[in-house]
Structure 1
């Protein structure tokens, strides 16, 4: 959207208040993701996992305000591929500048939170083994070369996917989910598998942390999708309800597959299924009915529960299933718009099952293929370039010891309490100390 001044349009305080709240909700998703991912890795690298998410907030914020926003949402300068540089450093945008009915500074911040979590999501594919220094280089470069162009294609003025192709993506199935999933696959191939992949058990070290992170993600997702209406209106309400419904059916779909396949519905499956449903409804929440939203979530929960096993079959180590959940879930949700889109939500376009013919489904498929191919190839190239420059893989010693100690010189837990007696505890347990106060 091109910014306008207050003289050309009026500020809507209701829309502004809702988008302020939604922006805070979306920002909370990145700390929620840090907990979600942190609980999924082994205890020796949990702090590194948390740091990869938190440092993404800082890195993407700087890049976005310097040039990212202008390139993504500035007026198109070349064939729907990229925006201009008129607003480098947020030049020309002040408190009185509006985008639609809300301040442009708020719209900028809302979109910034999307860019932040998209970058952070990629870290799950390379957990336990990527150099932290390489991650610090990757995030800003990737944001400018991958996220920003795709955001312009889909949401920017004159972007080719929205305006020339006519594909629909309400809140980020293409921009966020497919982009982070394809990037995760590319980086997993560049970095290579973890030591012991397909041989050693690499179970989540803290399932309560995983569940807490999933809950925070679900909470934030209400702002992620509902806020994408950019107003306090019926479309925001419908998108928010679709988000709740799809997360629920995604959870149920995953648990049904687990029960049938493995004989046990798990907490890890519940968290993963909810996230899969939320991923899939992201592009569709503003285009499908509540029934359509339920089907989208259910389909994603079931499909993604099988897709997470593909890494063992095709031999790529996507540590925390960014490909299996975010890429596959994003593809499911984006394609199902072509079946379930309804004019009641879109204002005109309809899917195949609502009498719209196969055209919208074809447009959605072209958009998926274009974004996935561009993202994979560019991310792979960035990863290879960084590898030649400084290396992307932690050393064998660092990986075996754990990145928390070797990179950050910290430990998430007192391992003596978790199973190995600490020196003080050993001293207090000896006969010589039986009359000693624990305080001494």
Structure 2
């Protein structure tokens, strides 16, 4: 055993899983970076790296303290209970490390909704405020002893809301905030279907591959707290649902547009990953495959909603993360092993899942809308139209993603 009470195997896996999840944020940067136009790739990737820097610092200073509560109905933990983790033991620090990586990527995911048109400084202000007011408390609600974790007990049940790795806390949370920011910043110049195409498809595929690789830490990672009892189930579901998500998305693309695209395959993989996140430890592999197939197909259709409803979610954070998170969370109400409506349970698991999902969605959307509106009305959130058309990399960062020199 190590000094903090963890054996060496648990400690090794905890650190490895944390590194895997941390790598996912650069994966998001590649995935998002390839999807934007060439003159915005630096700006897009910097939003992820900016989140990596800022949220890491805030989490260590006070975010981890806020992510656990003493009483189920507390809003959050006391941010100053162990400021900067000065008195934490080894086990606590390992848990804080793992939790930090989730906070980082959740914030980074939001940035895809405002690609090509956001100021970097304003994005960081939003990221700091939203993580403090939304992500850190919601993490406490879902995993840190809060109302979502205790909802089943409050209703007199012997089971409760299932969200193993972040369907509510990460994906619905980020997707709802993304929708709010897309509304606040408005549409890109020339927004219409087919107007904005990915500038670097191989970069998108690389990002999706890194995300899939890192997601095994995302989903299986918390098993260091559980003696690795469900590691095999979680791992096979992370593989299967993701693979099925690719198939589901490509089938819809082929039927709808006549072609199966590599960007579609990448997006389908992410949709499958998102959907299996909350349910990876509570579905048999067959139900996991069905979930991935369903998520890939539905998300492929959901990304079209922005054209019908008139909001410019640049990189489909709403269509993939919010919708995929909702599918994965609610699906447990029907198929969660032992408690789902169709596999030996009753309707109460579904009630719990829907209540948690809607609670997080509404709270995140409202607070993100308020923060985004306040930033836009004060320091401004969106670049000028002429800077957007010229490409914001040079305007905001003084750099170009691709420099071709001629002699």
TM-score (norm 1): 0.88
1:317-328 superposed matches below 5 A: 317-328=312-323
1:248 is aligned to 243
Post-superposition offset of 1:94: 2.9
Find 2:174's aligned residue among 156, 173, 180: 180
Q: Is 1:127 matched up with 2:90?
A: no
5+ residue gaps, structure 2: 153-159
Find 1:87's aligned residue among 82, 87, 90: 82
5+ residue gaps, structure 1: 96-102, 344-349, 417-421, 425-440
1:429 is aligned to none
1:281-322 CA-partner distances (Å, limit 9, x unpaired) = 000001111111111111100100000000000000000000
Structure having the higher Rg: 1
Post-superposition, which runs of at least 4 consecutive aligned residues in structure 1 deviate over 6 A?
none
How many Å separate the matches in 1 of 2:214 and 2:388?
Answer: 32
2:157 is aligned to none
SS in 2 for 1:353: coil
Q: Is 1:59 matched up with 2:54?
A: yes
1:99-248 superposed matches below 5 A: 103-157=91-145, 159-165=146-152, 166-198=160-192, 201-231=195-225, 233-248=228-243
How many Å separate the matches in 1 of 2:333 and 2:363?
Answer: 22
CA spacing shift, 1:259–1:62, aligned 2, 3 Å:
same
1:18-70 CA-partner distances (Å, limit 9, x unpaired) = 11110000000000110000000000100001100011111001110111000
Contact 2:249 2:264 survives alignment (8 Å):
yes
1:411 is aligned to 400
1:23 is aligned to 18
Contact 1:228 1:236 survives alignment (8 Å):
no
SS in 2 for 1:275: helix
1:362-382 CA-partner distances (Å, limit 9, x unpaired) = 110111111000000000001
Post-superposition offset of 1:200: 6.5
Q: Is 1:354 matched up with 2:343?
A: yes
Post-superposition offset of 1:77: 5.2
1:71 is aligned to 66
How many Å separate the matches in 2 of 1:281 and 1:336?
Answer: 10
- What is the CA RMSD across the aligned residues, in angstroms? 1.5
SS in 1 for 2:149: helix
Moved more, 236-245 or 181-190: 236-245
SS in 1 for 2:162: coil
Q: How many residues align?
A: 397
Contact 1:77 1:83 survives alignment (8 Å):
no
Q: Is 1:45 matched up with 2:40?
A: yes
1:324-403 superposed matches below 5 A: 324-343=319-338, 350-403=339-392
How many Å separate the matches in 2 of 1:277 and 1:11?
Answer: 32
1:34 is aligned to 29
SS in 2 for 1:161: coil
How many Å separate the matches in 1 of 2:18 and 2:42?
Answer: 26
How many Å separate the matches in 1 of 2:318 and 2:223?
Answer: 27
How many Å separate the matches in 1 of 2:247 and 2:391?
Answer: 35
CA spacing shift, 1:13–1:199, aligned 2, 3 Å:
closer
TM-score (norm 2): 0.95
1:220-263 CA-partner distances (Å, limit 9, x unpaired) = 00110010223452312211111111100000000111111111
Find 1:280's aligned residue among 270, 275, 280: 275
SS in 2 for 1:352: coil
SS in 2 for 1:82: coil
Post-superposition offset of 1:415: 5.0
Post-superposition offset of 1:136: 1.5
Moved more, 386-395 or 80-89: 80-89
1:253-286 CA-partner distances (Å, limit 9, x unpaired) = 0011111111111101100000000000000001
SS in 2 for 1:230: helix
Post-superposition offset of 1:106: 1.0
SS in 1 for 2:27: helix
Contact 2:72 2:150 survives alignment (8 Å):
no
